[in-house]
Chain A
Amino acid sequence: MPPSDAPRPPKLSAMILGQIRPAITLLVVLTTITGVLYPVGMTLAARALFPLQSAGSLLIGDDGAVRGSLLIGQPFTGPRWFHGRPSASGTTPYDPTASGGSNLGPTSAAFTTLVAERAEALRREESTDTATIPVDLVTASASGLDPHISPRAALLQVRRVAAARGLADEQVQRLVAARIEPAFLGILGRPRVNVLALNLALESLDSGGAMPKLSEEGLRPPP
């Protein structure tokens, strides 16, 4: 339609001035909708529908203290614990306020040297000289908070942990086997073991106490 007899378009300055009010009004209106109503509504809805998950999948012990999050790895270095992957987060390992990876290049000498050192330390720790080392135990994760290791990496550590805790190898091995999470529907992702959950299970085995439960701790208002 709008053919030659349409009115001449307004001047450029008029066009600009005419658009200022809608630009500002709509920015304010859409900011209110997508920046206030949406996040607040989503938080309320998520809290009502998925209280544990939306609060951070927190694990709470018998005494009511938060032991950690099921999804966020923690550093373990002692012989009595299963160890997770090396972490490149910030200045301290597994620091959730400074998540991130090493960003070392695949061919860099710094990378291969670092991995060689880790492999050497691991071999001493686990007193295995012949066994090959699972690559996940000597490479840093992307987030620095990876809560998982591969089943092989967990099984490699069974002997050391059992010896340090005075348990039978088979007992610890069963504990690991029971905690292997399969790939989703057998297709998506990889089979894995949650290190924090495994160590908490070890602790409860030790003390005869109960496993920490997922809690709604994060839902309480901060004191």
Chain B
Amino acid sequence: MMTSASLEVAAVLLATTLAAAAVAPWLTTIFRIGSDSDANCEPETEGSWSRLLRGLESPLLRAAGVWPIREMTATEYAIAILLFHAAGFGLLLFLLRCQPLLPWNPDRLPAVPWLIAINTAASFVTNTNWQSYSGETTLSPLSQALGLTVQNFLSAASGLCVLAVLVRGLVRCGSATVGSFWHDLVRVTVGLLLPLSIVLGLLLASQGVVQSFDTGIDVALVEGTSSAAGEAPSTRRIVLGPVASQIAIKQLGTNGGGYFNANGSHPFENPTPLTNLLEIVAMLMIPMASCLAFGRWVGDRRQGYALLAAMAVLFLPFVVLIVRFETSPNPWLAAAVPSIDQATSPEHDGGSLEGKEVRFGPASSALFAVATTATSCGGVNAMHDSFSPLGGLVTMWMIQLGEVVFGGVGTGLAGLVAYTLVAVFVAGLMVGRSPEYLGKKIEASEMKMGMIVLLVPPIVTLVGTAAACMLPAEAAAAPNPGPHGFSELLYAFSSAGNNNGSAFGGLSAASAFWTLALAAAMLASRLLTMLPIVAIGGLLAAKRTVAESPGTLPTHTPLFVLLVAGTVILVGALSFVPALALGPIAEALQPPMAAGEGTR
């Protein structure tokens, strides 16, 4: 069993690496050219690809009145981001509230209630895609396509724009500007995300992911038509819709908001083991490719490899652990119902199967879970709430590391660079070297902004969880008793406070407290990490590059990789180990009990 699981994991990781390596050169091209003024020290290239890009983007930018491109200062860039988020929020809120008045609502669904609408708008604008609604019965195809699919593209594109600013900060010398947000936005959306989504969407559709103008079809049950099926209704409505197009960008943009309530476990979102592979690859591809492109952007590929290695160091051990946890039998179940066979054989799925699909099995489900929480995707192909206690711990911990292990598209690597600056600074203090990263001096202002990036997510997560625990009516939203119930509360705020969007799905988070608190957590965590990163980009861009000296700490060595990974672990562990001890760890320590021996 362990060999088949390891083969499976190895195959997926290999496919992901190949895909990332293939995308990296294109991603490099997207940001390297055009928007950069000629007199800075950033290398310029102008090939046929970039002429093609220019042809695509110039009409759009001309329509918006920002052609020819004018570079922005970091402040302007931040304002543009804020305005664009606000406009997106407003449009989405409008679509959800006015659903019954708008076309393409064949099932005549009513307006989405205010609280759910606000929560959903915040969730999709911030790339979190927490779903406090059930897609099948709440949203019309128009809302799904025009509202959610659009924000899936734009929130992911905004993330890459922020990364571009940070990188420009590192490579430019004495520049007052950091690029044009409008130019970056259009270029990423039309030049990168759209073509990738078209390819992935068609691949998914070929496997059975539905893509239809119809919203559903009523069928009589096979058993209900030929034998008595009791009093239960004997028909079912099979829900259809434009699913493949949304799932493609949901995975590629590390969004995670599915078309259906069951998300990526629904057979119409993820019908076969092959689509499961494609969806895992799609989640990890752009975050991994960003690392490789980073190396090319800064003119030293080893720097990109080092950051990718730091992510891998933080990722791979947890892949092994979670696959191990989920393919093992559930000891509590084994003690209570000894006659159940939980062993795995070629004819039988073993392990913890509650909340998992047979076609994936526990190993693929575990791999998807760790990938979706390490990246800020948050789509699921199995219900994390029913994972083994320690399996659930891994998913939660990957989120709590601040979504910098692969992380969100763009924002993940940008966050890791913020951690790297802190690591450089700490190392500089320890050994008495001047803190520099890629030739830029790291000083007090950058450190202040870096600390905001590091600390806002844990603060939002822990304060939110504590608030929920102190309000008995709100804590009751967790359906499971004991430590697992606490885990459900902690997971919700971890997910919102790090813009992941997955959930311990049993939580009924529809009250005013939950919808608004989670919406606030999502907005705070998104904006208070993006804007300081833009600020760091601006601060660094204005600086001159200092020449490398014997006192410079090399930032591509294995030692430095461990230093960065250690910084991430240290911040994550110091912030969250106490809370984790109350939730999943306490749950894992409960002794298995035979049936009738006692109930909680």
Residues of A whose CB lies within 8 Å of any CB of B are 1-3, 6, 9, 12, 15-16, 19-27, 29-31, 33-36, 38-39, 41-43, 45-47, 49-50, 53-58, 65-78, 80-81, 85, 89, 92-113, 115-116, 119, 123, 132-136, 138-153, 155, 183-185, 187-192, 196, 199-200, 203, 217-219, 222
Contact = CB atoms under 8 A, between A and B. Distances in A.
Task: Kindly name the residue among A16, A111, A144 whose own CB sees the greatest number of chain B CB atoms within 10 A.
Answer: A111
Contacts of A141: 265, 355-358
Interface stretch (B227-235, B402-410, B551-559): B227-235
B360 A135 contact: no
Nearest to B390: A106
Nearest to B381: A142
Identify the 3 closest CB pairs spanning chains A and B, nearest first: A189-B273, A103-B506, A1-B39
Interface in B55-71: 60, 63-66
Contact of B361 (A26, A68, A144, A190): A190
Interface stretch (B16-24, B175-183, B296-304): B175-183
Contacts of A54: 205, 209-212, 244
15 contacts: A29-B63, A35-B149, A42-B198, A50-B206, A53-B209, A54-B210, A56-B217, A76-B222, A93-B232, A97-B136, A97-B137, A100-B383, A101-B265, A188-B11, A189-B359
Given A15-B79, A184-B272, A22 B210 contact: no
A47 B211 contact: yes
A123 B339 CA distance: 10
Contacts of B175: 1-2
Interface string B343-363: 001111111111111111100
Given A33-B194, A78-B223, 6 more contacts: A22-B65, A68-B222, A98-B261, A142-B365, A183-B273, A187-B11
Task: Kindly name the residue among A46, A66, A147, A192 whose own CB sees the greatest number of chain B CB atoms within 10 A.
Answer: A46
A108 to B, nearest CB: 5
A153 B349 CA distance: 10
A1 B37 CA distance: 8
Interface stretch (B84-92, B523-531, B561-569): B84-92
Interface stretch (B43-51, B414-422, B448-456, B479-487): B479-487
B474 interface: no
A75 B232 contact: yes
A1 B174 contact: yes
B83 A30 contact: no
Contact of B202 (A3, A49, A119, A185): A49
A145 B208 CA distance: 15
A34 B153 contact: yes
Interface of B: 4, 7-8, 11-12, 37, 39-40, 60, 63-66, 73, 75-76, 79-80, 83-84, 86-88, 91, 106, 134, 136-137, 145-147, 149-150, 153-154, 174-177, 182, 185-186, 189-190, 194, 197-198, 201-202, 205-214, 216-217, 219-223, 226-230, 232-233, 236-240, 242, 244-246, 249, 260-262, 265-268, 271-274, 276-277, 330, 332-333, 336-337, 339-342, 345-361, 364-365, 380-383, 385-389, 392, 479-482, 484-485, 487, 504-506, 587, 590, 595, 599-600
Contacts of A97: 136-137, 216, 237, 239
Task: Kindly name the residue among B39, B83, B190 whose own CB sees the greatest number of chain A CB atoms within 10 A.
Answer: B83
A69 B267 CA distance: 10
A192 B174 CA distance: 62
A32 to B, nearest CB: 9
Task: Kindly name the residue among A29, A56, A92 whose own CB sees the greatest number of chain B CB atoms within 10 A.
Answer: A56
A116 B182 contact: no
Contact of A85 (B79, B358, B480): B358
A60 to B, nearest CB: 10
A100 B244 contact: no
Contact of B348 (A1, A134, A187): A134
B337 A119 contact: yes
A102 B222 contact: no
